[in-house]
Homo-oligomer: A and B are copies of this chain.
Amino acid sequence: MTGEDREARTATPPRRGRPPAGRSTLSRTAIVDAALALIDDDGVEAVSMRTVARRLRVDPKSLYNHVADKDALLDGVAERVISLVRVPKPTGDARADLRAVCLAYREAALAAHPRAATLVLTRRVESAGSLAPLDAVLSILARAGHPPAAAVHVVRTVLAFMTGTLLREADAAAPFGTDDFGTAAARTAALRESGFPAVGEAAPHLARCDHEHEFLTGLDLILDAFGSRAPRATDGSEQS
């Protein structure tokens, strides 16, 4: 902070033209880094081409030499975060391995960069860097005997559950501190007075949420459900 001040005071006036040979200040990855750091500090809504450029001490328009537009930049951030998923080594126990990948995904998307989570969950990202977790899950399922069509279906169901759950976690984290007491009481009261009988009855349970427990038990439920459907042994072709 004081370091930044000193640098700002010493700053040479912005030079024009190509930068001095080897000193290629800017790059796509540097820009994505800056955007992610900005999101970590101030949230997604703080991202603008101008604020990102400010962080890099660069003219906003310079970004367009490395990134198509703001939308592409945000895609880049989402992709980067997914690429941070540390896919665990498979043990051979399909169910446990699936669970482990899901936990790693939650770790990267939610714990490491909580304020970038909505980006990751909300944007359709399918570029090279982000396919590793998908590949891991598909190969676990293949080894367990699921034909590709069935495996894709499992992936989609699990991913849908995870997206919904993590999205809920992500924006619960924003307004309230993780486990808030006062607001839980207020929310209970509000739900009680809503005029909806069943909502009123369940009010205290609706007002607070143990996110981790919710995630783990929901995931187990779904994995159990798929586990109880015996996968086809070796044959890939089926009647439909």
Contacts and interface: CB of A to CB of B under 8 A. Distances in A.
Interface string A112-150: 000000100010100010011011101100100000110
A135 B209 contact: no
A221 B225 contact: yes
A153 B219 CA distance: 12
A158 to B, nearest CB: 9
Contacts of A197: 135, 139
A152 interface: yes
A157 B218 contact: yes
Interface in A188-240: 194-199, 201-202, 204-206, 209, 214, 217-218, 221-222, 224-226
B148 A205 contact: yes
Interface stretch (A8-16, A35-43, A61-69, A163-171): A163-171
Nearest to A149: B205
B131 A167 contact: no
Given A221-B222, A225-B222, A128 B195 contact: yes
A128 to B, nearest CB: 6
A201 B131 contact: no
B171 A164 contact: no
A140 to B, nearest CB: 8
Given A124-B171, A131-B196, A151-B202, 12 more contacts: A122-B122, A128-B195, A134-B199, A135-B197, A138-B199, A148-B202, A149-B205, A157-B161, A157-B214, A160-B168, A162-B164, A225-B225
Interface of A: 118, 122, 124, 128, 131-132, 134-136, 138-139, 142, 148-149, 151-153, 156-157, 159-165, 167-168, 171-172, 194-199, 201-202, 204-206, 209, 214, 217-218, 221-222, 224-226
